[in-house]
Amino acid sequence: MGKERLDRVLSHLGVGSRSEVRRMARAGRVKVDGQVVLDTSSKLDPERAHIEVDGTPLAYRPYFHLVLNKPAGYITSTRDKEGVPVTALLPASWQRPDWMPVGRLDKDTEGLLLLTTHGELAHRLTHPRWKVPKRYYVELEAPATPEDVEVFASGELSLDGEPLKPAELRLGPDPRRVELTLLEGRFHQVKRMFAQRGNRVLYLRRVAFGPLELPDGLPVGVARALSEAELEALYAAVGLVCGSR
């Protein structure tokens, strides 16, 4: 990549705002390649330079990605106009203005939510062209039936006058507890699909988004960074190369 201003790089890495970064540099707290840098308007190649703040090396990443086990009661947004946004769950060190939630989850829906700063990745993961599957665990008021399985798979259902893509419904030993895999994400789609079959969703949790599974042992309300293997698989699912991350 080309050269970037040091204050922009440090702000991108979450060190602080540009004004905060400038004050830190003037105090002698910032080093580049072993040398104290007082002027943060100086430019560098962030992928080659060795940057330290208060003696701690910083690894440059152009994009950031988190998987969050979303609890009920939070909205899939970065703003609080309609409720408490999911980003309020993140610790201070992960707070940044450019997070993008990938695929909406209703306020009362739990489970896997991907947060990324990579706009093209977010766009492809939710665009119908790439047919990225989303899998949900669903608890129902009444037992689902083999006929439901056939209807969901047939593509006969529609919402708002538009046909739905075929969906895979899996019945378990208890047909009130099922898994549903969708290739799209319409507004309240899971609830509305079962409502058309005369049933009601009591509980809903997303357990997978493409190749990304809800991590075992990740507590509700907690996020973690994606592993290298998860990133590789996620990028590959939408035809992107996961190079420098």
Given this model, what pLDDT does residue 153 score?
A: 97
Q: Is the pTM of this model over 0.95?
A: no
CATH number of 133-209: 3.30.70.1560
List the structure tokens of 80. Answer: 């609080």
Name the strand (E) or helix (H) holding 212.
Answer: strand 212-213
User: Catalytic amino acids?
Assistant: 106
| pLDDT tens, residue order, the chain (245 aa) | 679 999 999 999 988 889 999 999 999 999 999 999 999 999 999 999 999 999 999 989 899 999 999 999 999 977 767 789 999 999 998 999 899 999 989 999 999 999 999 999 999 999 989 999 999 999 999 999 999 999 999 989 999 999 999 999 999 999 999 999 999 989 999 999 999 999 999 999 999 999 999 999 999 999 999 999 999 999 999 999 886 44
Contact (CB, 8 A) for 87 and 184: no
CATH number of 4-58: 3.10.290.10
Strand partners, 31: 36, 52
Distance CA 148, CA 153 (A): 8
Given this model, what pLDDT does residue 245 score?
A: 47
Distance CA 138, CA 106 (A): 14
Same fold, 4-58 and 65-128+210-237: no
Given this model, what pLDDT does residue 2 score?
A: 78
Distance CA 70, CA 140 (A): 20
Distance CA 180, CA 44 (A): 49
Distance CA 159, CA 163 (A): 6
Domain ranges of the chain: 4-58, 65-128+210-237, 133-209
* Options 3.40.50.720, 3.30.70.580, 3.40.640.10, 3.30.70.1150; CATH of 65-128+210-237: 3.30.70.580
